Copies of this chain bind each other. A is one copy, B any other.
Amino acid sequence: MTIIAASTSVQLYARASKYREYLESLDDEVASISATTIANALNFYEVSVRKDLAQISDGNGKPKVGYNRVGLLADVKKFLGYDKHNRAVIVGAGHLGTALMSYKKFANYGLEIAAGFDVSPQKIGSEVNGKKILAASEIADMCRQLGVSIGIITVNAENAQDVCDELIRGGVSGIWNFAPVTLKIPEHIAVKNEDLAASLSMLTNSMDLNSEQLTEE
């Protein structure tokens, strides 16, 4: 199992993603953009941005001018892997699974949601955002058939491991896990865990930090 959080810079990807958002928000008339401007817009440290851009778009920056908007955006997208195409399935057609199936922007990131899976007879056969919900018993077979490379898990903690095993049996090489469990996964499969509880903790703890600072004044 490749534990992503430990091996890759989470922060760098987060920043790169924000660079993309920002660059796409700019007017077409903007020809070039500097690290300074980006840093100010996104509240990042200027030198960090410059280093990131040097890594992402090496050698394309010009003194006094900055980076070509279009070129930099292309480089950022490439860095983020948006040039590659991946076919995915979502297992668990609950609220979250439905939300992800309905999210139109995944296509821009090279992610194609091919189908959903669920165990509920009411849901099987229905469609969400034009995509069929299939029986969970078919996961492995359908993944092979459709050439799916990413499995997205939005079932509850109890069933996540079983679903994961089926997805791997179906030949996926990456797992995007929204269930609050640590999955047991073979070495060659990549996993990215989402953890809303951890996010919430970061938020509430920094709120307290802020209020402490206020009362100290």
Contacts and interface: CB of A to CB of B under 8 A. Distances in A.
Interface of A: 1-8, 10-11, 13-14, 16-18, 20-22, 25, 41-44, 80-82, 84, 86, 94-96, 98-99, 102-103, 105-106, 109-111, 149-150, 157, 173-174, 176, 180-182, 188-211, 213-214
Contacts of A84: 204, 208
B203 A17 contact: no
Contacts of A214: 188
A101 B136 CA distance: 25
A182 B197 CA distance: 21
A26 to B, nearest CB: 13
10 contacts: A2-B206, A2-B210, A4-B203, A21-B180, A43-B182, A80-B198, A80-B205, A95-B103, A176-B200, A189-B210
Contacts of A110: 204
Contacts of A181: 21, 25
Given A21-B181, A43-B182, A181-B21, A86 B201 contact: no
A interface majority secondary structure: helix
Contact of A182 (B4, B22, B150): B22
Contact of A190 (B96, B180, B203): B203
| Identical copies of this chain, number | 2
Contacts of A42: 182
A153 B136 CA distance: 32
B206 A109 contact: no
Contact of A206 (B94, B182, B190, B202): B190
A109 B201 CA distance: 8
A22 B197 CA distance: 14
